[in-house]
Amino acid sequence: MGRRCAGPTLQVLATRNAEDHTRLIMSETTKRVAFITGISGQDGYYLSQLLLGKGYDVHGLIPCNAPGIGEPPGLNLHYGDLADGGNFDSLLDAIQPDEVYNLAAQSHVRLSFDLPVYTANVTGVGVLRWLEAIRLHQLRTGRTVKFYQASSSEMFGKVKASPQNEQTPFHPRSPYGCAKVFGYWQTINYRESYGLFACNGVLFNHESPKRGEGFVTRKITRAAARIKLGLQDKLMLGNLDSQRDWGFAGDYVEAMWRMLQQPQPDDYVVATGETHTIREFLDESFGHIGLDWHKHVEQDPRFLRPAEVDLLCGDASK
């Protein structure tokens, strides 16, 4: 059973009154342009499908070294790199987006210990590059561009209280978490200093079949299937006792969009309010196909973090 630590199971920033609801419906009748960084990832996929369904003209940023993914129906793809940002100005001027969703990052926490400088450059300073490009674009054109920053529950790190909400202090425990904190505060700084419509979505873990295979949930489900088929014998994992607040990515991208439809920019936690351990996830995944994970899973110190984050549980009641 999951451990409840906050309000309803899922609170995805529902509109608060009839006036807000009417405004949201009216906004959907106008053709708008969205630009998504990290569009080839899990969240980028679900967000792009959501926005296409709402009638948006959707553009996406992909890295120059990305494998050939073609041009998905309805999407316009552009090359660029958060580690450089050299073409952000020209992209904004050419595309003229109404909304920018910055989902791109070096998002593997364990890898960030091996690549701390690169992680800081992409995941942290990359946010600043976008904010500055938007500020200058607005000065040149007089347009308003709304900005969503994908912040992370990893910013909370070594928590002293649970659940965590928008007022909980940060104590990041990885280069990734530190980089996300930098991007979080730069987003607020540009909002307060220059009046940008800029929001942070502090998303707790969220999963789907589109999750990358380097993440623990996908690693577990893929290994379970391969073991069942006789293609694999063992699964090596790190900390099995860490507790996480897992939700569904398709729900969470709806929250991203709703943040940018509010009358004023603000920062929001998005979470389920319920925690589960890696062991519980193993129970469900292996048990679903009739396997005992204890016979196939081994702990490997190579997958342990130098500084662990033991418990994350979000309060999305704002």
- Number of H helices and E strands in the chain, helices first, is 10, 14
Does residue 112 have an active-site annotation?
no
Of 45, 153, 154, 207, the catalytic one is 154
Task: Work out the angle between the directed axes of helices 249-259 and 42-53 (0-180°, nearest 10).
Answer: 60
Cβ 145 vs Cβ 97: under 8 Å: yes
Does residue 154 have an active-site annotation?
yes
Q: How far apart are CA 297 and CA 234, in angstroms?
A: 6
Of 40, 48, 151, 152, the catalytic one is 152
Whose CA is closest to 187, among 80, 102, 255? 102
The residue behind tokens 């299937």 is 225
Does residue 176 have an active-site annotation?
yes
Report the Cα–Cα distance between both ends of the chain, in Å, rounded.
25
Which residues neighbour 283 within 8 Å (Cβ) at sequence distance 6 or greater? 293
Q: How far apart are CA 74 and CA 94, in angstroms?
A: 18
Of 46, 176, 190, 268, the catalytic one is 176
Which residues does the annotation mark as catalytic? 152, 154, 176
